[in-house]
Amino acid sequence: MRISFAGGGTDVSPYSDDRGGAVLSATIDRHAYCTISPRKDREISIRSLDYGREERWKADGNLFQYDGNLDLIKAVLNHFEVQQGFDMFLHCEAPPGSGLGGSSAVVVAILGAFTEWLNKPMSPYEMARLAYQLEREELGFKGGRQDQYAAVFGGFNYIEFKSQETIVTPLRIKSDVMNELHYCMLLCYTGRTRDSANIIHEQTRGYVEGNDQVIDALDNAKRLARETKDALMFGNIHHMGELLNESWVFKKRFTQSVSNQRVDDIYETAMGHGAIGGKISGAGGGGFMFFICEYDRKHLVADELAKLGVEMVPFNFDKYGLQTWRFRS
């Protein structure tokens, strides 16, 4: 899964198609897992740990109909026209609606497992593009393009979005810069998940209707993605925090649903006790937030946020994207 530092929202069509978008993101050590155990019959067993659900289907040669019940899995089965039975176990290390790109990481994990099992290798760009097509176009789930590419490529990436292409530029961050950034950062869970689809719908409607505030906010979010990337590459963590704060200001102008009283209280408390800047990771409304803090006041920010019932979540940056492997017990 990923943290999106800047530019989130500019990867959503039609803005990205018309004006181009850009995002700076980094993957962290929270993962989505998909395990496939082939069977000798046509029975399909699905166990999802996160949803506490177990389903049994038949691979009878017909396409699976989308009905809101594990449709992400059905979309992958339909794409590969799977005819053989298998047992699948799914596990995602973040709750749905967390803002860390979990649903896209799940799609990528499922695709990775199937390409490994069926021996149908795909390039990273092909994998990310297919994940986007299945999740956003085939199933119509609202969202942008950054999550699928982050999950596949892994690491720190500056990702540019155009009408017909997505360009991923991996960033080589010096270890001392990465260590300092990690040391100054807090990742915290607000205790509330959110429905990103409604937030993204409102943002898109504002852009399509020509709302000057929304368009200006998106343009500035794109600018800040580039400036935040430059600050990171030069190792200027303090300025990166300042840009993060500016990004949050513009993000709240996408739509009123991006923030709420709970989120505002958390943000103001953090800023009042040593945070330089922060934002919600994802569309907004809840889920995970993160802050860049003064190194010697990070503990104070954590203490004050804990008083609000905010959970501090340990994390590390993870340079690896999708990984697949076979195991025979």
Give, as one character, the DSSP assignment of residue 103. Answer: H
What is the arrangement of strands in the sheet containing 43-48, beginning at the earlier edge strand?
Answer: 32-38, 86-92, 43-48, 53-58
Identify the three-state secondary structure at position 141.
coil
What six digits make up the tokens of 287? 């889920």
Q: What is the DSSP code string of 84-139?
A: S-EEEEEEESS-TT-SS-HHHHHHHHHHHHHHHHTT----HHHHHHHHHIIIIIIS
Helix (H, G, I), strand (E, B) or coil at 169: strand
Rounded distance between C-alpha atoms, residue 279 and residue 284, angstroms: 9
Q: How far apart are CA 313 and CA 186, in angstroms?
A: 8
**Catalytic residue numbers, as ranges:** 147
Q: What is the gyration radius of the CA atoms in the chain, in angstroms?
A: 20
